[in-house]
């Protein structure tokens, strides 16, 4: 048995038990069996880097945490993950009619640290519905820059709050008369149509841009 496999396996077991996951639950997350997890943890089976990256994301740690610390004379250890940070995927946003915004954290995903320059901040939301099809599809994760500036949001795909608690995902058009939320999927059987709110409605409801789409992540 390779010593490094045994070390990595012990770390997998440590982080699994620390997170209160059973071998079966972790196996289901990886799309495998509890027996395979047991073989990883005992060092009999080598966990490849793809598996370790998935586990690191699941446990909210660096992949480096699975390996022994490196000690080199007259050398500096560089963490390979220093160029990324993790942001929360806060819940589901409806690409259709507005629904109540979700605040539960579904998972964490990595973004480039350079995106945060200038004090910017980001969050993710999972897409439900097909009003923004084909550009966005069901279960895509969209990363939003927190931004409430209507000028910046014009002609952009945005998360928008309506009535103070309903969130929807639409392309935003700003005019002197008000704001229009435009679905991209206009050739559909669900009668998705642009929705216009005049200035008075924008203020009274209110209608508020809460994020501008930066990037989408599609999983196979």
DSSP SS3 for 180: strand
Cα distance from N-terminal residue to C-terminal residue, the chain: 34
Handedness of CA 36, 41, 46, 51 (dihedral sign): positive
Strands 195-198 and 107-112: unpaired
Q: Both tokens of residue 38? A: 């047991």
Q: Both tokens of residue 10? A: 């012990």
Residue 38 a catalytic site member: no
Contacts of 135 (CB under 8 A, 6+ apart): 157, 184
Domains of the chain and any CATH numbers: 3-66 (1.10.260.40), 84-217 (2.10.109.10)
Residue 131 a catalytic site member: yes
- Pick the catalytic residue from 131, 146, 152, 199: 131
* Residue 159 φ/ψ, nearest 5 degrees: -85, 130
- Pick the catalytic residue from 170, 175, 208, 216: 170
pLDDT tens across the length of the chain (220 residues):
467 788 899 999 999 999 999 999 999 999 999 999 999 999 999 888 888 889 988 998 888 788 776 443 443 434 444 588 888 888 777 665 554 444 567 888 999 999 999 999 999 988 888 889 889 998 899 999 999 888 899 999 999 988 877 789 999 999 999 999 999 988 767 778 899 999 999 999 999 998 999 999 987 6
* In contact, 129 and 142? CB cutoff 8 Å: no
């Amino acid at each position: 048995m390779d010593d490094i496999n045994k070390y990595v396996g012990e770390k997998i077991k440590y982080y699994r038990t620390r997170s209160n996951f059973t071998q079966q639950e972790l196996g289901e997350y990886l799309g495998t069996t509890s027996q395979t997890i047991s073989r990883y943890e005992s060092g009999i089976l080598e966990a490849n880097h793809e598996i370790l990256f998935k586990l690191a994301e699941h446990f909210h740690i660096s992949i480096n945490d699975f390996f022994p610390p490196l000690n080199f004379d007259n050398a500096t250890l560089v963490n390979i993950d220093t160029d990324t940070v993790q942001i929360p995927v806060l819940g589901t946003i409806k690409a259709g009619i507005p629904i109540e915004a979700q605040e539960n954290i579904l998972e964490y995903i990595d973004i480039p640290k350079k995106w945060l320059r200038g004090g910017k901040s980001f969050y993710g939301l999972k897409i439900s519905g097909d009003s923004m099809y084909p550009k966005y599809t069901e279960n895509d994760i969209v990363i939003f820059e927190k931004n409430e500036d209507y000028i910046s949001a014009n002609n952009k795909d945005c998360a928008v709050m309506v009535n103070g608690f309903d969130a929807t995902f639409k392309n935003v058009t700003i005019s002197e008369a008000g704001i229009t939320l435009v679905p991209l999927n206009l050739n559909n059987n669900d009668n998705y149509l642009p929705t216009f709110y005049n200035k008075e409605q924008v203020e009274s409801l209110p209608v508020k841009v809460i994020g501008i789409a930066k990037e989408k992540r599609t999983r196979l």
